[in-house]
Structure 1
Amino acid sequence: MSHESIQPDSVDTESQNIVLCMKWGTKYGAEYVNRLYNMVKRHTTVAFKMVCLTDRTEGINPEVQCFPIPPLALPEGSPERGWNKLSTFEPDLYGLKGNALFLDLDVVIVDNIDGFFTHPGEFLVIHDWKRPWRITGNSSVYRFKLGAFPGLMPYFREHFDEIREKFRNEQAYLSWYVDQEKKLQYWPDSWCKSYKYHCLQKIPLAFIKPPVKPKDVKIIIFHGEINPPDAIHGGGGKWYRYVLPSDWIKDAWQ
């Protein structure tokens, strides 16, 4: 696939919408990228381009433009912790311009997502569910204008030793940095929900009642030991988190 900069269809590149995702290593296959593209296409009326930053392009739908993941240039042996995601904030990301909506590969879209492109704010992210008293966002879904935070990556590289001691992962650093810029905002609470926290039943009900779809949810977030195939077939949870098959996830994740 071509790694050349995207050539815009019109001169107004600043207002175009780009859906960004990232795939590295072998944990997620090309089918995750392709299903994500299909879900976005089904659930938005907004014109968009989809871009995948990846080290493996094999099997990815040609409608998705692929670019290499920009190198972080970290010291050898540094813990990964999802730092790669920060490369979406390179001051010049392959000449891309416009509004970028980043989606993790393992999210499942279940309703219209037009609002994720139009909701007011310079940087929007999911507010962490488990510790809502902290500013940290969950970076499974975030939106920003490409190139709008030109200092984020230089600061990260220059202060990496300090950052990796202070911040547990990339979303903690990202939330802190954007908050320092006074631009940190969160999606409406009902839009993004955790499959683990908001859909699964508690034991013993989990043995007889399948996971539920929360009211008004648009995107389901998977984190921890359960992923979409586990949700579809059942299983994948720890002994205290029994998981029955979910037909509504099966219908959505394709």
Structure 2
Amino acid sequence: MNSQTESPVQTVICLKWGTRYGSDYVNRLYGMVKRNTERPLRLVCFTDDSDGIQEGIEIKPMPPFDLPEKMRSHPFRRMFIFAEQLNDLQGTVLHLDLDLVVTGSIDKLFNFNPDSRFITIENWTQKGQGIGNMSVFRYRIGELTEVWERFRPDPMAMMNLYHNSQTFVCRTLGDVDFYPANWCLSFKHSLVPKWPLNFLVSPKLPEETKIIAFTGQPDINEAIRGEWPVSSNWKKLYKHVRPSPWLADHWR
């Protein structure tokens, strides 16, 4: 980021479509980022349903759905954010998923490695492969158009080739940067103790952590209560989590 050309306002964007996450997730995200910045903040939510989203959050329309039906609920749908123009947004933005908990300063997420075109979290299950987990990423509007230009002519071809959007984006860009590993953690991959300690020890929050991402299950409210829904009885032998009530102190 060029301090001479960037706005002093830090812009955070999120996307909400479908019914998986309600407006309460957007409102909580707004509360979390407001408490964890010392700078002017702009939170922009791209959504197809703004009902219940609180005042102070800017609402922008999701583009009309004209993708293959298979992509209606798939993360590939968010590729429009890499087009040359994104509504009236300009400059650097920080994208945050709705299913995460902010526990520390987001200012450092804007400051770190300011010249990076694209910076994200190294995916916890693909270490060393150059693949990010796009729960959290920062980029400049209109500077990663190669992603959109490659995706838009044949979306299904890209989905069939890469299967998930984060692999597609990272392979298309070729060279991505990562935040320090302890800044952005996965609840289930990073914080839940390994079996069998997960039956005895509750997850704890590391001091330097700024974001906790919730991929798959458990959801945030389940993690607070110490519940891990499983689809079969044998998974109950190892998929277990003790309550993490401290999450509720941040997720508000």
Give me the TM-score of the superposition, normalised by structure 1: 0.88
What corresponds to 2:248 in structure 1?
A: 250
Point out where structure 2 has 5 or more consecutive residues left out of the alignment: 231-235
What corresponds to 2:129 in structure 1?
A: 134
Aligned-pair CA distance for 1:237: 4.2
Q: Does 1:177 align with 2:172?
A: yes
Cα distance between partner residues in 2 of 1:163 and 1:16: 35
What corresponds to 1:7 in structure 2?
A: none
Q: Does 1:109 align with 2:102?
A: yes
Q: After the TM superposition, which of the residue ranges 112-121 and 14-23 deviates more from structure 2?
A: 14-23
Q: Is the 8 Å Cα contact of residues 230 and 236 (structure 1) preserved in structure 2?
A: yes
Aligned-pair CA distance for 1:80: 4.4
Letter in 1 for 2:248: K
1:203 to 175, 180, 195: 195
Aligned-pair CA distance for 1:152: 2.1
Aligned-pair CA distance for 1:55: 0.8
1:56 to 28, 49, 53: 49
Aligned residues: 240
| 2:46 alignment partner, SS class | strand
Letter in 2 for 1:242: H
Cα distance between partner residues in 2 of 1:196 and 1:189: 15
Mapping of 1:91-240 within 5 angstroms? 91-120=84-113, 121-179=116-174, 182=175, 184-238=176-230, 239=236, 240=238
| Structure 1 residues 146 and 14: CA distance shift in structure 2, 3 A | farther
Aligned-pair CA distance for 1:207: 2.5
Q: Is the 8 Å Cα contact of residues 124 and 144 (structure 1) preserved in structure 2?
A: yes
Point out where structure 1 has 5 or more consecutive residues left out of the alignment: 1-11
Percent of aligned pairs sharing the same letter: 35
Deviation per CA, 1:119-139: give whole Å up to 9, x if none: 122210111111212111100
Q: Is the 8 Å Cα contact of residues 210 and 243 (structure 1) preserved in structure 2?
A: yes
| Structure 1 residues 57 and 216: CA distance shift in structure 2, 3 A | same
Cα distance between partner residues in 2 of 1:245 and 1:110: 17
Deviation per CA, 1:53-82: give whole Å up to 9, x if none: 111101101211111112463234457431
Cα distance between partner residues in 1 of 2:227 and 2:29: 22
